Structure 1
């Protein structure tokens, strides 16, 4: 082999090694940048999650208060219903039995 052919082979191999190193370095740079971006997005999601959870806690507290109000109203309705039944019974006792159309002999 002549010196020119050997130098061409060494030059080609050097070029391939250089291009491979550049691709590797570029890929490593891209991966590092993507990791930074993902970390930033994850942090934003975590902050948003904390904010959303706080808002849901407030909504849950409001629902609990509304449920307590409904429970009190339900108790009052049951009390009124019981009193209404007692009033019906008292009125029925005052009126006496219903008059019949046919009088038994």
Structure 2
């Protein structure tokens, strides 16, 4: 069986293009995953900070709305 040089060149160049496109798509997908993970970490830190602020706010509101202290005489 005889295969011409043009056919071999075409097959090799097609394989090169497929490998190049595949590797670039894989690298792009890996970059997207790393980028999403970084956003998730910063978002998690921001959510934790908001949770801590909310807890402090709840404690402050409970102190304001709670029962009056027994040792302090309220002015009427």
TM-score scaled by length of structure 1? 0.59
Deviation at 1:8, TM superposition (A): 0.7
Instruction: Find the counterpart in structure 1 of residue 37 from structure 2.
Output: 35
4+ runs deviating over 6 angstroms:
none
Count residues with an aligned counterpart. 68
Deviation at 1:65, TM superposition (A): 2.4
Instruction: Find the counterpart in structure 1 of residue 28 from structure 2.
Output: 26
SS in 2 for 1:44: helix
Distance across 1 between alignment mates of 2:7 and 2:58: 74
Instruction: Find the counterpart in structure 2 of residue 56 from structure 1.
Output: 58
Listed as ranges, the gaps of 5+ residues in structure 1 are: 70-105
Which structure has the greater CA radius of gyration?
Answer: 1
Distance across 2 between alignment mates of 1:65 and 1:9: 84
Distance across 2 between alignment mates of 1:65 and 1:16: 74
TM-score scaled by length of structure 2? 0.80
Distance across 1 between alignment mates of 2:9 and 2:67: 86
Distance across 2 between alignment mates of 1:65 and 1:55: 17
